[in-house]
Structure 1
Amino acid sequence: MSPEKADALAAEVRDWLTSSGIVSAERKPCVLGGHLGFPPGPRADEVVDVSGWSLPWQDVWFNGLDVAAGRTVFDAGQGEPMAVTCPHCSVRIELVDENFALVHTAWDPFHEVVDGWREGRDVVIPCPACARPVEPASWIWADDHFAFGHLGFTFWNWPPLRPEFVAELTRRLAGHRVVLLEGKF
């Protein structure tokens, strides 16, 4: 997806979310990262599963929608990446030991992939098992720890998104790959 297409699609989806009342159109400091986001709208409860959540979840100060259009590494935000799998040979590369500490000899090449993407570079490395080169966005991260893309929607501190909402959002993303990261797009 080109940056121009990412910007246009971000605006289209953002307009749908605001016009449907899922998020408020007025931007406020409600997301992490020092910029403005879109607070939950009057119909936000309709797209989340609040079972097991103490209400009102909307009162947390950083609970807005952050729309990122541009080359971004999206991450699950908790803990270390556990493993990554080669898309060619399906070999799983463990990145942590039995104590959940990073194994630096395994992690370091992937660290370069992640940092490279953030810096605007495509760091293509060969799979340690089959030696075939793998593009950054093609690695399969355990628990979808990372996703590399040009457009993302982060719903900060929202309860789990309802499957029907995820399906509608996916439809509106016009066939682009969608990865759900621990309640974040």
Structure 2
Amino acid sequence: MGDWFQTIVDVQATPQEAETLAADVRSWLISSGIVSAEPTHCVLGADVGHPPGPRAETAVDPSGWSVPWHDGLAITVGRTVFDAGQGDPMAVTCPHCSTTTHLADERFELKYEVWEPFREVVRGWDEGDDIVIACPACTQPVEPTSWRWTDDYFVLAYLGFTFWNWPPLRPQFVDDLARHLADHRTVLLEGKL
């Protein structure tokens, strides 16, 4: 069966502002009743999170959702590799020339010689290193956070909000949350473990 998650990642938050932005969004989510104020053991991968609040259904589209959703929200602050969970990354796009580098073949198997430099970028970010590689097409150097992963398989950032086992988040709610992040650009990752 597995666990389903949706993570709204702020791709523009700096390390210096991530904690303040997280606190602002947490306050808004609590005051609006979307999550409860008292943290509990309701999330995967963190000690505690915020369970759904009395108005949580205003943030989701529960139609067609039959699984009970008692899990909560985990807020991650700090250098993190946010990922989509199962599977492998299929492709990555250069922010300079918009060329897409395919990391898998037609059978969806990773082409390790192509994947290796990108794997080092992701591993480096996770270990605290900024590994800059050149785009295979235009040869421009690309910062680790600037690559655009197909289906947002990876997002390298400092702030994310993970909703564990909630029905699909409403687009309006995702937009509202982004506004509380100083209108930073956000990415919605959806995945399953």
Q: Would you say same fold, with TM above 0.5?
A: yes
Kindly indicate whether the alpha-carbon contact (under 8 Å) linking 2:81 and 2:156 is maintained by their aligned counterparts in 1.
yes
Kindly indicate whether the alpha-carbon contact (under 8 Å) linking 2:46 and 2:74 is maintained by their aligned counterparts in 1.
no
Q: How far is 1:55 from its partner?
A: 4.9
The correspondence for 1:16, drawn from 14, 24, 28, is 28
How is 1:14-163 mapped onto 2 (pairs within 5 angstroms)? 14-58=26-70, 63-163=71-171
In the aligned structure 2, how far is the partner of 1:42 from the partner of 1:183?
25
Kindly indicate whether the alpha-carbon contact (under 8 Å) linking 2:132 and 2:143 is maintained by their aligned counterparts in 1.
yes
Q: What's 2:10 paired with?
A: none
Q: Please give the secondary structure, in 2, of the residue aligned with 1:180.
A: strand
Q: Please give the secondary structure, in 1, of the residue aligned with 2:189.
A: coil
Q: Determine which structure has the larger strand proportion and give its number.
A: 2
Give CA deviations for 1:81-125 in whole Å, capped at 9, x if unaligned. 110011112211111122222111111111111111111111000
Q: In percent, how many aligned pairs have the same letter? A: 65
Q: How far is 1:182 from its partner?
A: 1.6
In the aligned structure 2, how far is the partner of 1:93 from the partner of 1:2?
27
Q: How far is 1:50 from its partner?
A: 0.9
Q: Return the TM-score normalized by structure 2.
A: 0.88
Kindly indicate whether the alpha-carbon contact (under 8 Å) linking 2:36 and 2:52 is maintained by their aligned counterparts in 1.
yes
Q: Please give the secondary structure, in 2, of the residue aligned with 1:16.
A: helix
Give CA deviations for 1:35-71 in whole Å, capped at 9, x if unaligned. 111111111111101112105323xxxx210101111
Q: Determine which structure has the larger helix proportion and give its number.
A: 1
Q: Please give the secondary structure, in 2, of the residue aligned with 1:81.
A: coil
Q: How far is 1:33 from its partner?
A: 1.4
Q: What letter corresponds to residue 123 of structure 1 in structure 2? A: I
Q: Return the TM-score normalized by structure 1.
A: 0.91
Q: What letter corresponds to residue 3 of structure 1 in structure 2? A: P
Q: What letter corresponds to residue 96 of structure 1 in structure 2? A: A
Q: How many pairs are equivalent? A: 180
Q: What letter corresponds to residue 126 of structure 1 in structure 2? A: A
In the aligned structure 2, how far is the partner of 1:138 from the partner of 1:4?
19
In the aligned structure 2, how far is the partner of 1:21 from the partner of 1:55?
21
Give CA deviations for 1:126-155 in whole Å, capped at 9, x if unaligned. 011111100111111101111111111011
Kindly indicate whether the alpha-carbon contact (under 8 Å) linking 1:48 and 1:161 is maintained by their aligned counterparts in 2.
yes
Dislocated runs of 4+, deviation >2 Å: 1-4, 55-58
Kindly indicate whether the alpha-carbon contact (under 8 Å) linking 2:86 and 2:191 is maintained by their aligned counterparts in 1.
no
CA RMSD of aligned residues (A): 1.6
Structure 1: gaps of 5 or more residues: none
